[in-house]
Amino acid sequence: NGGGAALTWLPYPVTPVAGYDVYRRLLPDPAPVLVASVGVTGAFTDTGLPAGQYEYALLSRDTAGNPHQPLALPVLDVPCYEYDVAPADCDGLVDALDIQAVALAWQTVPGQPAYNPRYDVDGDQVITIVDVQMVAAQWGWPSAAQQP
């Protein structure tokens, strides 16, 4: 669905660092996969991701190719689409399932079990009537990501 994750980090305090291996794990998958080997830039953008929660880890390498202690980055939530309006099942069509899912998360905030950042369409960190209305206003339409 075209989601992405922009990662940035401070250089590992081992000299000289030659680069980093970037590992990704889609939760709850058991094992991470190597997605990139980058230089010492301290940044990487992972694109074309399906919706879900991703865990990233960095493994620095010195100039001799020796790996160092891995660094775990915070878990990232990748929504179905940017400005997502079909949040429940990521099928690209706004329907009753999407409206119901957002309504059932009514008044939840980050940290509460029913809160899902995909349902917080306006991004204000609380599921409100505005989020429900934004989804309902798109009833029967393909989501923005599915439109040509």
Whether residue 73 sits in one domain with residue 8: yes
pLDDT tens sequence across 50-69: 777 899 999 998 888 888 87
Residues 39 and 106 in one domain: no
Q: What is the pLDDT of residue 119?
A: 84
30-51: b (≥16 Cβ within 10 Å) or e: eebeebeeeeeeeebebeebeb
Mean pLDDT of 140-148: 55
Which value, in Å, is the radius of gyration of the alpha carbons in the chain?
Answer: 19
End-to-end CA distance of the chain: 13
Mean pLDDT of the chain: 82
Task: Give the count of domains, the chain.
Answer: 2
- Tell whether 94 and 132 lie within a shared domain: yes
- pTM of this prediction? 0.58
Looking at the fold, whether 35 and 93 belong to one and the same domain comes out as no
**Cβ proximity of 73 and 7 under 8 Å:** yes
Residues 67 and 13 in one domain: yes
pLDDT at 14: 64
Q: Which of 78, 106, 124 is the last residue before a domain boundary?
A: 78
**Arithmetic mean of pLDDT, 1-9:** 75
Asked if the structure places residue 144 within a domain, the reply is: no
- 88 and 117 in a single domain? The answer is yes
**By the 8 A CB rule, do 50 and 3 touch?**
yes
| Alpha-carbon span 101 to 125, nearest angstrom | 16
pLDDT range class, residue 125, cuts 50, 70, 90: very high
- For 10, the domain range is 3-78
148 is a domain residue:
no
Residue 120: inside a domain: yes
d(CA 31, CA 76): 16
